[in-house]
């Protein structure tokens, strides 16, 4: 299939998703978009051109995922899209059985991330989405940091087959310049859009920042290579924009033969019951620049002669 490189005018990941998905309908006769009202207004023109391949089932997320499974059973290539809590937690059994257990594939593209819409409250938060998908076999999980990652990720996922979860956010970050210290003392894995704050937080700390977009399969070899470059102990910090520790078991597997320490940072399990801004929530979960710098700094400094009392929180 010809991959056309489009000149994008999108200003958000969601707009980019709509633009690329609309293109794919023209390029790939199997591509089919399945919606449950969310974003359907953005696909009205596409639906006019492809009435059989832009399907809005209404506010029925279970059906949205099951329809994707049924389509895939006829060799179509469904692209499922909704707000993250509705696409993943609400329709979880459909993801598990109507895609996975049927042994058919789809590309699920969510928006909203952990708390993009802080004013909407916990019903619209999905910090658990990656952990949930991670319990299912053979899913690739992508957490893009910047807008320009979305188009190639979606095109590759649709063309390449398999089950993909692409987690979009309204909080895309700019591309980051990474500096490599002469004698790095820790590897900081920065997943998706945490990269900007991690780069900021670790300025003048002697750490290697390892940006990760595709978290499943986890880049175990890249982590090992970075760890082997460290001077001293194998210290790893994992910064994820969803439930803290979601990829801790992957780090453990990557370093199964290496004595190492791991600090897992991410969204906490506690129900905050707060609104405000996404930055407020970052701070509440210790994911803002200041908290990250303190946590990572303390962790690296505690590397020599670690004691229980000195363990970072």
Partner 1 sequence: MTTTTAPVAPLQLPYSSLRRLMSDITGDAKHLPSATSTLDVLWVLYDRVLNVDPTNPDDPRRDRFYLSKGHGPASYYAVLAAKGFIPLPWLRTMGAFDSPLGYHPDHRLIPGVEVSTGSLGHGLPLAVGTALGLRAQGNPARVVVLLGDAELDEGSNHEAIAYAARAGLDRLTAVVIDNSSSTHGWPGGIARRFETEGWAATSIYGRDHERIEAALRALPGDGPNVVVAVVEPKESA
Which residues contribute to the site for partner 1 (CB under 8 A)? 32, 52-53, 55, 57-58, 60, 62-63, 66-76, 78, 93-94, 97-98, 101-103
Nearer to partner 1, 138 or 229 (CB): 138
In whole angstroms, what is the distance from residue 247 CA to residue 238 CA? 8
Closest distance of CB 52 from partner 1, Å: 4
Nearer to partner 1, 43 or 218 (CB): 43
In whole angstroms, what is the distance from residue 271 CA to residue 139 CA? 28
Helices (H), the chain: 13-27, 44-49, 61-72, 84, 92-93, 129-134, 150-160, 195-201, 220-228, 248-254, 278-284, 289-301
Nearer to partner 1, 63 or 292 (CB): 63
Q: Residue 270's CB: how many other CB atoms inside 10 A?
A: 8
Closest distance of CB 47 from partner 1, Å: 13
Closest distance of CB 61 from partner 1, Å: 9
- Contact yes or no for 144/153 (Cβ under 8 A): yes
Nearer to partner 1, 66 or 247 (CB): 66
Closest distance of CB 31 from partner 1, Å: 10
Nearer to partner 1, 75 or 307 (CB): 75
- Contact yes or no for 146/169 (Cβ under 8 A): no
Q: How far is CA 285 from CA 22, 45, 85, 102, 268, in A?
A: 36, 41, 19, 38, 6
Closest distance of CB 20 from partner 1, Å: 20
Closest distance of CB 95 from partner 1, Å: 12
- Contact yes or no for 54/46 (Cβ under 8 A): yes
Residue 100 tokens, joined? 């996975």
Beta-bridged to residue 183, according to DSSP, are none
Nearer to partner 1, 59 or 301 (CB): 59
């Amino acid at each position: 299939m010809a991959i056309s490189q489009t000149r994008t005018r999108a200003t958000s990941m969601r707009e980019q998703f709509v633009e690329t998905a609309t293109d794919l309908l023209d390029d790939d006769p199997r591509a089919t978009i399945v919606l449950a009202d969310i974003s359907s207004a953005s696909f009205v023109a596409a639906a006019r051109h492809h009435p059989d391949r832009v399907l809005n089932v209404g506010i029925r997320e279970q059906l949205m995922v099951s329809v994707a499974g049924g389509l895939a059973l006829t060799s179509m290539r469904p692209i499922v899209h909704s707000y993250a809590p509705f696409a993943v937690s609400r329709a979880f059994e459909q993801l598990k059985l109507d895609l996975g257990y049927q042994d058919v594939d789809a590309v699920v593209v969510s928006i909203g991330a952990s708390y993009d819409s802080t004013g909407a409250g916990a019903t619209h938060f999905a910090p658990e989405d990656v952990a949930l998908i991670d319990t299912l076999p053979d899913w690739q999980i992508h957490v893009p940091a910047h807008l320009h990652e979305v188009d190639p990720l979606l095109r590759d996922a649709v063309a390449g087959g398999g089950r993909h979860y692409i987690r979009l956010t309204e909080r895309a970050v700019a591309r980051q310049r990474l500096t490599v210290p002469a004698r790095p003392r820790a590897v900081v894995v920065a997943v998706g859009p945490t990269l900007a704050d991690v780069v900021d937080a670790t300025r003048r700390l002697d750490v290697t920042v390892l940006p990760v977009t595709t978290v499943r399969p986890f880049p175990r070899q890249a982590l090992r290579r970075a760890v082997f470059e460290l001077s001293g102990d194998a210290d790893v910090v994992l910064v994820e924009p969803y439930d803290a520790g979601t990829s801790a078991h992957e780090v453990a597997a990557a370093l199964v033969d290496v004595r190492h320490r791991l600090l897992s940072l991410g969204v906490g399990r506690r129900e905050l019951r707060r609104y405000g801004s996404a930055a407020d929530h970052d701070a509440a979960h210790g994911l803002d620049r200041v908290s990250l710098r303190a946590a990572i700094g303390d962790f690296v400094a505690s590397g020599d002669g670690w004691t229980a009392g000195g363990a970072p929180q």
